[in-house]
Structure 1
């Protein structure tokens, strides 16, 4: 039988228990005579007393250890006022857990539980903090945090206990103030600091032991037994009981209940009670107010009475009185940095307790004083500081708080003075530092009385010393108070005396420790041999700290000269200004000695940079000149550097200083002007408006990852923003038609061609910059995006030079819509003069599928100043209605407008006829000084013939007076026809025919897969499509469209000039139809073009009557075509021509197309060669499945 119970086999009764069990059971029996349990709680699993032979296996011991619950969680019962409150748990002032949005109901007291697992933590190490207070009565918001209690290792600690310290509780008397507030609520940011004992009732501690160890003890309150202990042991023990309601000492009895006196067996049980403590208040048992019923005295044996003894010799009790006896109980919560620190407790400056090797984790160190003690009497000292960085040793003592009779005194309080805390800039001096740490030997003085810090000032405002006085002291005093540490800065100010010549002193800071009333400033006076007047300097006080005030702040010191006059002369520069050409080798500076030349004297000289740069425009020259006795002149040569920089005239200064030998200093500064000999360029160095190719390189480092939206130079198409408020990509340039843009196509939806899946970059050609001139880079740009953009997306413009890469512009995305708008940016690049640079432009969709577009135009590097500029048309093409009478064109004068210039222009026909469609024109345009644009008007002729749009060119030439032609020296003007056409055809492809006889052909072109399709193009117009062949010009033939007029007659319009095949004996109409295979977007719309084919018409003829209603309603049904296939052919109104899949060109090459689903699209007359009634219905598409025979 194994008895695992604390002291179960201890003493006489324990031995009797083992014997009885052995007799009754016949078993071997073992039991413990001390505390049983896990070692971390001061116990063991050894059974020290046995009857018979008992052996305990290691397996049993391991099982017992494993069964011990070593830690219970810290539980906080809390509620928020609004549910938005944030709460933190701190252990030893370190945040270990944060909870946001604390729920519950603070008003009704409905609390939630918040737990944190920790081992070995006592309540006095715990703080619960409120960290996000908000009081907004206008919005009806008032955050408060209510803490009902905490539980630590199963023990409850009520928040409204008088031992709980609060820094965030509001009370009507004083608002929010630190203190023991007896409240559960934190109204502002602050914390609750808990104490070790639970405070929902009374904590009762009995310090007692037995003579034998088997003694039994009872605690009685109001005569009722509330707790019993057996086998109290022979060493002083701590027996704890928590009562659920307040208890005073006169309610308490401690009783001895199992007295045995057997001298024959040497047994004498006695109970010794040292003292009891109620909520930390000590009541000594031997006090004259304690009544005993079991104490033996020689005079009268065991007799009830006030026996002034700690021992109960027989069964009986101690009855305590309500007033405390003995002295105060002092508790110090402290820890050491290394575990080797020694700590002293001093009362009234006398050491009363010493603890060696203070533990590294916070521990409570207790002492009971002989008398009642106040905090002002207490010091806690650190006595064995050691700092040994070589061996990594740094002893420090941390004192969390002092507790006297249950009252807490935080060490970091403002009224605690430290004499052993290191402070930066001060060192270790006494002061009120609000810290828990002693870094050096010293002490904390609690509840220190502080007085005024005083006034800092010089002792006397005037001092006079002979030149020969040498080292002197200037006294600074502290009057009107000496409390705390104060500091004052002091500085030396030269007047007629020269620092480091007539006197030596260094600015500094005076520190007055607590109680110190006087400090001194050291000054050293120079004893020279020169005759001079009395000289003065000042010492000024400033920046007083520590709460002190500044009194008399300045003392003036007079140095009385003791030398006789000697005629040693004045050293000076012979002139105050020199001018020298940059290409001169050097400049000579003359220094004179006037008014006397007795003895040897010296003077220092040095060059001083001004607008001229040392060692770039001249060579730094410094030194000392010696004038021998009688010598009156010296020269200094300063080398001048002839560079190639354009910099203008520059200035340096030559200065004299430090005259010795008794001479005086006269004119001591002279300027030297270096006249520049280099010319300054002006005007543009580089300009690109992207109207012609100047060699920009896309993906220059082969590192781009963007799959769409890559940079290109093109005429951009506008892309509307999803909100419809503007554009995400602009359809215009800032000059001309072309710009640098992230994929110019607009696509069928906003996200078709924006930047996707990474970065795209483009690099300019090499640009050589001149040296020494001011240089400016400017450009126009836009960076646009939808509201799905993040800061990972960007547009960046950088300059790459010899010295690395400089970012000129970087703009980041944001989750808002940003519409495209041209903006001008500029930067000073003068620092790159004389080098070759390139401009790198990068844009990226680096986030998650953002919609991003960017553009760049008119990149200019110039020397700011007067330039006649570049003359260029504003656009490379434009249009005008046939009935507009004139076409108005604009010439822009770019990157400069200095002076009067002129330029010539002349028209040239294209498809428009000179004299029939426009008037041949030429002339000269004048630009005045500063003028930046001018207009030219070309007359337009309005005829009556229906025709396609026609165009002509206007070309600039021969600019004058330094102006040059820009990128757009020729512009094209399109004339849009305005004549009524009569009965027109309307070509529309038929979608259903695409499903007729569609197959994949692998024989016509071996090794290729041809998707063959049947197509049908119908005429849904009011008149026939009639085409006829005209004149043959070499290898081409004109093909005309005949249009029948409503009033009778017809008009022939040139449709195009196509390749002539004499062996075919009929006309050809190239590009009559276009076939495309397109991807299917996720939303079902048509995507990118995967493959395409085309159809040249050899014969247009009526095959089917597709639209009978169109035939019935046509003004003219049949022309000369429709039933023939020769030099005249066509499609009648309401009829359709069908091209079977087996005919030539009726295919799309899908050799490299993967199997899958696609859109199949047919477009009739894709080049708009035919004049139609409706140009918008010329395409149709269907979805088809493609199976590649080659396994793709």
Structure 2
């Protein structure tokens, strides 16, 4: 029997969310796209696939593919859940530790929501970028995946690898600004030319200090390789580009996409796809592009307003818009492919001439009703004898649509209600757009030594949402 609505990618998300919700130990992982060629960099399931692969819960096929869109059977689902149970309990049976190349899936709107941050996760689109030393400017793309709600920022900086600042490149640092619904941004790195045959040199790229509710993903460091244009192959290519770019009035350069994958929430209205021009920016050049249906259908899910873009003399980066159509159906994520098809005779297309665009279904992810959890697993408070109000925060993550409610109650651990604190219970109401609430619990003035004692608070019944870990927290008197 085929579970036709669920895929291997959904399974990875579900299992990662389940492991987090039950309190499993996190596994340090790389992205799934670093392991499997068919896992799109920056896709909503990229991190989950990497985590579940590293944990040994779900593996790829023998041919090296992961098959994110492949359907799974009930039998495969049972095997995957058995492995997860064994991983959580430490009871690894022979059946659960055997071949892990099968797959399964089970997902729901709440499962996806618990793994998403509505403001997004910011990271590089790749671990390695490449540019030539011939005075061009490299464009480094940063992606905001999993959520695009609100305006967020992230800092970026370059530092020396084997390349030297002001000798091989101009140092660059600053802040990238993502507006509401924006999923990609880029920063420039100016590469400097020399006449030495000094081989490929490297620049270290870093993003840090995400603000506005966004968090950092992986990778947050990347390498920019500067290829030597004095090497025989590079010199030949450089000479060809130079001749082409000055031939008549038609400009040269190499055109490619700024990223191998893009992701946009379907209610964003539009996505701007970046095309970069390297090797030469001399003269005017035009590049044609096309859009091809995947699971997303033209006119039904997206619309392109053009078929070509023109770079003027000196321009190294341009974008073209694709309009996204919103609907109210829970019909899952959809994809289409953008392809650079041709350019003028003096220019060429680079290796990254196609990219997959994912339209994330806002009815099942970051724009949904969200999930509720405590802001921390432990809150610390002073043990002074004076009466104080102890703040305990509850967060709404994964979406803020609609009104949701959750009940809470305190309970004794080593601290005693009525002596050390006043017991509290009640209901929190999050209105549409609200993502944070604070419970104020009175600490009782007392001559008792409360240092080191603690009490707990748990989330109980809820309405209109789901809860995710941590659903209980401890308040400890210091």
TM-score between the two structures when normalised by the length of structure 1: 0.14
**Structure with the larger RCO, 1 or 2 (CA within 8 Å, 6+ apart):** 2
Name whichever structure is richer in helix by fraction: 2
TM-score between the two structures when normalised by the length of structure 2: 0.32
Name whichever structure is richer in strand by fraction: 1
